[in-house]
């Protein structure tokens, strides 16, 4: 290699190393390069890390096996397990110290610790939680808090840029960016009420409860879930719209719970085949299959066979949309319901009313059910007339019912191979039973199983 070549190589190395170390210029043609840093400096102090400590009662699935119970007649064995969790939250009211997060972040927690960006760690109080929408409200007492201003999430459009902020895998505050991939996602089976914002901004375990913000630094959603084959991010994340979250938050602050109303109908999806049989051009909607007497639907004049096509001016795709609309509006709200009846369009007005539930302690029906609280689900808006049965709303630890294997959230749909629609039927069947042992047919999530009461 000659001297000229060596000099050229040295000059080239000097040029590229100088360029690499100097970094990008602060401006191009006198204009600063775009950066999210100024916006993030304003909003990141409002996103907090959450750690939880709690305990859960576990029971071996073996004891839920009806064959095992039948042949061995062994009562259920429960044990207590300590739990720890990580998640994120968003300060939405700096004066009152209110923090929005997901219900699943603080579920079963006895102690909730908030860690602020400045390093302060503060014990939080649970104001209220709504498992059906996966929203929880916490409160802390602290000075100099920063809150994120909220946007109107109904104004979001597919393609809008968004930023996700949270605590993935417990690494600490992390920022990712993306766009709004879709709006109004539902039917995913993640929550009972779904109206998700879908985004490709990376959301991972630990991001739950964190903030989804616009480029203006306004809160548009609460990050809540992902779809991924291994639990990691593949570009499909979901956030609860802030309009929906703040509506739930208002009820949790006022009542400590969400008071959902009822319309009083059962319905099924309008399929292509049903649309043809009804001679309808409409391909989406919900067909009313049941109207509860003296319900808001009955008073509004709705009838079996009506096809609901829109509510409050928004097209209705299916029964899930119907349930979401009713379940997410406060009691007393008016619904403008568009229907098709015998080929003609009509408009009805209904007012969402407070559900009328019959509730009873299980021990009043049967000593083996002692320790439970039972409730008819006939008027429960979560089921929209799709299921008949009795919801177990509470099970006391180590009670006869708990030892038998009953869980909170189970739905009793049968007893000794006879369908049970409500508490009145269960009470009647228990009095009329000819054999001593009682087998309950239980719906747990999407699984049916039998449990024997000893």
Residues 399-419: what's their mean pLDDT?
Answer: 84
- pLDDT for residue 365: 81
Active-site residue among 64, 130, 132, 134? Answer: 134
- pLDDT for residue 55: 75
- pLDDT for residue 25: 55
- pLDDT for residue 62: 54
- pLDDT for residue 331: 85
Whether residue 18 is predicted with pLDDT greater than 50 in this model: the reply is no
Whether residue 157 is predicted with pLDDT greater than 80 in this model: the reply is yes
Concerning whether 298 is annotated as a catalytic residue, the answer is no
Which is more confidently placed, 23 or 364? Answer: 364
Give whole-number Cα distances, 340 to 166, 262, 280, 303, in Å.
46, 21, 9, 11
Tell me the C-alpha distance between 454 and 441, whole Å: 15
Q: Out of 173-177, 332-336, 340-344, 362-366, which region has the weakest mean confidence (pLDDT)?
A: 362-366
Whether residue 13 is predicted with pLDDT greater than 60 in this model: the reply is no
Q: In the structure, what pLDDT confidence band is assigned to residue 63 with cuts at 50, 70 and 90?
A: low
Q: In the structure, what pLDDT confidence band is assigned to residue 178 with cuts at 50, 70 and 90?
A: very high
Residues 367-371: what's their mean pLDDT?
Answer: 82
- pLDDT for residue 19: 37
Concerning whether 134 is annotated as a catalytic residue, the answer is yes
Strands (E) in 202-333, as ranges, are: 211-214, 219-226, 237-241, 265-269, 286-291, 307-311, 314-315
- pLDDT for residue 14: 41
Active-site residue among 64, 103, 104, 321? Answer: 104
Active-site residue among 208, 214, 295, 384? Answer: 208
CB count within 10 Å of CB 254 equals 11
Query: What domains are there in the chain, each with its CATH number?
Result: 43-139 (2.40.10.10), 153-244 (2.40.10.10), 265-351 (2.30.42.10), 359-453 (2.30.42.10)
- pLDDT for residue 30: 64
Q: 3-state DSSP: the chain helix, strand, coil percent, rounded to 5? A: 25, 40, 40
Whether residue 71 is predicted with pLDDT greater than 80 in this model: the reply is no
Q: In the structure, what pLDDT confidence band is assigned to residue 169 with cuts at 50, 70 and 90?
A: confident
Average pLDDT of every residue of the chain: 81
Concerning whether 306 is annotated as a catalytic residue, the answer is no
């Amino acid at each position: 290699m000659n001297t000229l070549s060596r000099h050229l190589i040295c000059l080239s190395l000097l040029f590229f190393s100088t360029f690499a170390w100097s970094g990008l210029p602060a401006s191009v043609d006198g204009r600063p390069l775009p950066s999210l840093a100024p916006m993030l400096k304003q909003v990141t102090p409002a996103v907090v890390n959450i750690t939880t400590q709690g305990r859960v009662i576990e029971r071996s699935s073996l004891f839920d096996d009806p064959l095992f119970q039948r042949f061995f007649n062994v009562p259920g064995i429960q044990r207590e397990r300590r739990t720890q969790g990580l998640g994120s939250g968003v300060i939405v009211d700096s004066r009152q110290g209110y923090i929005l997060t997901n219900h699943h972040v603080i579920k079963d927690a006895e102690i909730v610790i908030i860690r602020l960006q400045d390093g302060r760690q503060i014990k939080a109080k649970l104001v209220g939680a709504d498992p059906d929408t996966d929203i929880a409200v916490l409160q802390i007492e602290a000075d100099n808090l920063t809150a994120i201003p909220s946007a109107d999430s109904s104004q979001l459009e597919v393609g809008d840029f968004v930023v996700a902020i949270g605590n993935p895998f417990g690494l600490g505050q992390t920022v990712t960016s993306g766009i709004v991939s879709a709006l109004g996602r539902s039917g995913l089976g993640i929550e009972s009420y779904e109206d998700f914002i879908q985004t490709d901004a990376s959301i991972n375990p630990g991001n739950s409860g964190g903030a989804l913000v616009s480029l203006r630094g306004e809160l548009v959603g609460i990050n809540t879930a992902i779809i991924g084959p291994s639990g990691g991010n593949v570009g499909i994340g979901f956030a609860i719209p802030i309009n929906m979250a703040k509506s739930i938050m208002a009820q949790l602050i006022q009542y400590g719970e969400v008071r959902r109303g009822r319309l009083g109908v059962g319905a099924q999806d309008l399929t292509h085949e049903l649309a043809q049989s009804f001679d309808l051009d409409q391909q989406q909607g919900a067909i009313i299959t049941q109207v509860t007497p003296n319900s808001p639907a009955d008073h509004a004049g709705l009838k079996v066979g009506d096809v609901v096509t829109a509510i409050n001016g928004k097209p209705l795709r299916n029964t899930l949309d119907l349930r979401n609309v009713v379940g997410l509006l406060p009691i007393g709200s008016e619904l403008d319901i568009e229907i098709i009846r015998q080929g003609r369009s009509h408009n009805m007005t209904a007012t969402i009313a407070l559900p009328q539930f019959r509730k009873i302690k299980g021990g009043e029906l049967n000593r083996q059910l002692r320790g439970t609280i039972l409730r008819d689900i006939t008027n429960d808006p979560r089921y929209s007339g799709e299921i008949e049965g009795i919801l177990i709303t509470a099970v006391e630890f180590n009670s006869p019912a708990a030892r038998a294997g009953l869980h909170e959230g189970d739905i009793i749909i049968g007893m000794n191979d006879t369908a049970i629609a409500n508490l009145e039927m269960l009470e009647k069947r228990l009095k009329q039973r000819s054999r001593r042992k009682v087998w309950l047919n239980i719906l747990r999530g999407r699984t049916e199983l039998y449990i024997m009461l000893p």
